[in-house]
Amino acid sequence: GSRSAQQGAAGGDGSAGGAVAHTPSTEDFSLSLLDTNLPAEAEPELRSFIAKRLTKGALFEGMGNVASVGLSIPEGKVGCYYCRFQQESLLEMATLESDINAPEYVVCFLGGSEKEDTFRLELDKYIQNLKINLDLEQKTLEACVSPYLRSWFEDAICPIQRVVQLFQDKLASLLHAALSYTPVEVKNADERTEKDISRFLAAASLQGLVQEGTMTSLCIAMTEEQHKSMVIDCSGPQPQLHNAGSNRFCEDWMQAFVNGAEGGNPFLFRQILENFKLKAIQDINNLKRFIRQAEMNHYALFKCYLFLKNCGSGDILLKIVKVEHAEMPEARNVVTVLEEFMRE
């Protein structure tokens, strides 16, 4: 073929592997291997799987997909993340000189489960960074693909697990900071730990799940409350937290993470994190429903109060609905009454 596509792959234990392809837009193309650590008998099977996807036109530039694939490896059936991309600098050269075709690549990562889908956005970003690095350094893909792709599991999948293992029972405060949009300052940490904490906070926040205006207002409100900034000092073996907040909701979910740590499965940690956010969103929606009812019904107002008292996360939920209902007089009055009740 006149264009090429690359596939990297890895086992669920983080061992990386890959294969690479040549793919024109027609069905008549060949796949050429660039790099892999798959067993020799499994690599052609992965190549065949990717070829079928390319033939169907199912790969969009820069957008990863996750599917289950059966291979001749001990795990048998594994989850496969695959993403097609082109190197920007070579693409520009190809458009200038029409007889040159810019090479295309397909990167594949294999995990021990089909749950890579929970990490699809992280892996998309990982591929995007590969493209950026290639263009900045003006290197060929072959020159830097191996070291970069082989660390995919550690860099893209394991940060949440590492944070859980580092913070242990202090994780509740990190979950609380993520939910409440509290600014977090990390001191005396190495670069990887700082990145891990930042990724964990981003993954645990409700960004994209609550209205953007609400999120912005919450961020502004929390930043203005300077005493609320949480400081994480990583100078010792265990991180020390200053100005840390927590609540019963975050304590309960912290326990789920700590219990899951025994198995050491990073996909499980991500699933727990998604469930944590889902429950927080359900609680916010329930509270909003109760507030709408409470505008006309005193008994519903009491139900609001009981819900806030019993959900374990009343402090954060009240802040979120206060911001969202700032422009609605009736709802704002209900929230004011609830604030007084909760203070008492």
Give residue-wise pLDDT tens across range 246-278.
999 999 999 999 988 776 788 889 889 999 999
Cβ within 8 Å of residue 176, ≥6 positions away: 182, 244, 245, 246, 247, 250, 316
Per DSSP, helices labelled H in the chain are 43-55, 88-96, 120-137, 141-150, 152, 159-167, 171-180, 191-204, 212-224, 248-260, 266-294, 298-310, 314-324, 329-343
Residue 214: predicted pLDDT: 64
Is 237 within a domain?
A: yes
Stretches in the chain below the pLDDT threshold 50 = 1-26
Q: Are residues 76 and 121 in the same domain?
A: yes
Q: Are residues 116 and 235 in the same domain?
A: no
Q: Are residues 119 and 211 in the same domain?
A: no
Is 303 within a domain?
A: yes
Is 280 within a domain?
A: yes
Q: Are residues 124 and 173 in the same domain?
A: no
Q: Are residues 182 and 331 in the same domain?
A: yes
CA-to-CA distance for 210 and 200, rounded, in angstroms? Answer: 18
Is 134 within a domain?
A: yes
> Could you tell me the two tokens for 266?
């990073």
Residue 187: predicted pLDDT: 95
Residue 260: predicted pLDDT: 81
Answer whether 148's CB lies under 8 Å from 130's CB.
Answer: yes
Q: Are residues 249 and 338 in the same domain?
A: yes
| Total structural domains within the chain | 2
Cα 135 to Cα 144, 160, 184, 308: the distances in Å are 12, 29, 32, 51
Q: Are residues 134 and 170 in the same domain?
A: no
Q: Are residues 123 and 170 in the same domain?
A: no
Q: Are residues 174 and 226 in the same domain?
A: yes
Is 115 within a domain?
A: yes
Is 2 within a domain?
A: no
Q: Are residues 325 and 289 in the same domain?
A: yes
Q: Are residues 328 and 181 in the same domain?
A: yes
Structural domain that includes position 77:
35-88+101-138
pTM of the model: 0.81
Q: Are residues 182 and 311 in the same domain?
A: yes
